[in-house]
Amino acid sequence: METKLSHKLGQRLALTPQLTQSLKVLAMNCMELENYLEESIESNPMLEMDPNAATAAEPAQQEKAIEVSEQEQWKEQGDDRWESMYAPSTRDDDRYIDREQLWAGEENLSDSLHDQIDRQPMSDNEREVAHALIDSLDDDGYFRNDPSEFAKELEGNIETDGETVERVLLNVIHQLDPTGLGARDVTECLLLQLDDTCEIDRWVKRLLLHFADALLAHDEELAKKVECDVETIVQARIRMRRLDPFPGHGLRGDNNYFIRPEIVFRRNNDNNIEVDIPGTGWRGISINERWKEHEWKGKDKEFMTQAMKEAKWLLHALDQRSETLMKVAMCLAQRQRTFLEYGVLGLKPLTLQDVAEEVGLHESTISRVTNGKYADTPIGMIELRRFFSAGLPTRGGGTISVYRVQQRVKALIESEPVGRPISDQAIADRLQAEGIEIARRTVAKYREQLGLPPSSQRRRGTKTR
């Protein structure tokens, strides 16, 4: 045993106070950042906020602070759901009313649905099944289970079977407000919101059922396929954007809160997408000139020197945050243009890694930028994470979104011959013949996510009918 000194050369990442603050500011959303800046100004005498500068930088921006509740994020009264569900809130004369008192009396979506069920005429058994179905819906308002399997889960509590569950789902849950609840997939959700007595709704229904793969084509090309005029396609697209693909947000009754858009995507007169990073109250923050040239001594000098460093770090972190947001926004506008124009059906495969490579940043940085933040778009207020979707490779070297593949799997299962269900391997072989590189286990995973039973159970279900 002996003690000796040795040198070792290596690399490690040291999180300096400046870097730590930059990462913290980058991860905050608008509302969290405003609170953080207020605390920083109170604790750091070298920082000051000019309220006039913050207001002048974006005079109309205060109207962008939209008061929403969790259940209202994808829901709005009337049909203008995707376009006007997050219209700027108006201000009454009575602006000092305690909002907590107003919100306390609001009924969340889950309570509203249970109340609607209690007011409809049906047998006690069906009513119990309906209540159970509401409790089983996911956060988007979808029913992801198989009716027969769900009936088995209720054994011991409610006497029912798969046929009763499906009947209550179709005749009760699908008729509740907001419409679209209880759907098994996005297409069914959108179809439930259409009115067969309206001509344009009938065209939208035809597009969703028979021309889903061609919806991203130009209006003239799509009109030729559908055999209608271009104006009908234009109106159908407008109507489609107003449908709500996520009618169940807030089903769990989460608390109300404020959100502001971090990024604004808007369509200009040339039909191009413009990007803006709006001012949100911190544009007026600056170094306090009053103490900048003051001569300090002793401990005061040490304190004020550190305060000056922290103030400069904060201003630099704010500039970096805005710059990073703009880079990510420009990338999203380019890569997801069809999503911004046509909604969820236009979503293309895109991952955090794809954006990171394009903008020259680390994947973890992109995650911080997009987590818990929202964008104001032509189709409404959207959480940034919804711009991302995994994709599968195609034989031609491109990619196809997981959502599109799931819909294809569902369509193949629904079109299978009665009594002759197709296996997951057969579905994989069919998709591979269509140019989609997919394995059997991936098909099985997507089938389970859609709430569809395996081929063996579908065969037994056919025999029992």
Please tell me the least confidently modeled range out of 68-72, 160-164, 237-241, 280-284. Answer: 68-72
pLDDT tens digits for range 187-237: 888 889 998 889 999 998 888 888 877 777 788 888 998 889 999 998 988
103 has a pLDDT exceeding 80: no
- Residue 309 lies inside a defined structural domain of this protein: no
Strand-pairing partners, residue 75, are: none
CA-angle at 405, arms to 402 and 411, nearest 5°: 145
pLDDT classification of 425: cutoffs 50, 70, 90? very high
- Residue 113 lies inside a defined structural domain of this protein: yes
pLDDT score at 93: 38
Q: Write b or e for each residue in 323-353: b if 16 or more Cβ atoms lie within 10 A of its Cβ, otherwise e.
A: ebbebbbebbbebbeebbbbbbbbbbbbebe
As given in the structure block, the two tokens for residue 65 are 């602070």
Higher pLDDT, 22 or 323: 323
Which residue, among 32, 28, 70, 34, has the nearest Cα to 257 in the 3D structure?
70
- Residue 291 lies inside a defined structural domain of this protein: no
Question: Are 132 and 75 part of one and the same domain?
Answer: yes
Q: How far apart are CA 235 and CA 338, in angstroms?
A: 17
Question: Are 178 and 207 part of one and the same domain?
Answer: no
390 has a pLDDT exceeding 60: yes
Checking 299-304 for CB contacts under 8 A at 24+ apart, the result is: 304/45, 304/46
- Mean residue pLDDT across the chain: 77
- The residue assigned the tokens 């954007």 is 241
pLDDT above 70 as % of the chain = 80
pLDDT score at 404: 73
Q: How far apart are CA 362 and CA 99, in angstroms?
A: 40
Question: Are 168 and 254 part of one and the same domain?
Answer: yes
- Structural domain including 140 reads 66-88+100-193+243-259
As given in the structure block, the two tokens for residue 1 are 């045993």
257 has a pLDDT exceeding 70: no
Question: Are 107 and 189 part of one and the same domain?
Answer: yes
As given in the structure block, the two tokens for residue 102 are 């107003």
pLDDT score at 94: 40
Higher pLDDT, 246 or 398: 246
Q: Calculate mean pLDDT across residues 273-289.
A: 75
Q: How far apart are CA 53 and CA 48, in angstroms?
A: 11
Question: Are 207 and 141 part of one and the same domain?
Answer: no
Q: Is-contact 182 451, C-beta < 8 A? A: no
161 has a pLDDT exceeding 60: yes
Q: How many residues does the chain have?
A: 465
In Å, how far from its chain's centre is CA 259? Answer: 13
Q: Calculate mean pLDDT across residues 157-164.
A: 85
Which string of DSSP letters, residue by residue, matches 139-206?
TTS---S-HHHHHHHTTTTS---HHHHHHHHHHTGGGSSSTTTT-SSHHHHHHHT--TTSHHHHHHHH
Question: Are 203 and 225 part of one and the same domain?
Answer: yes
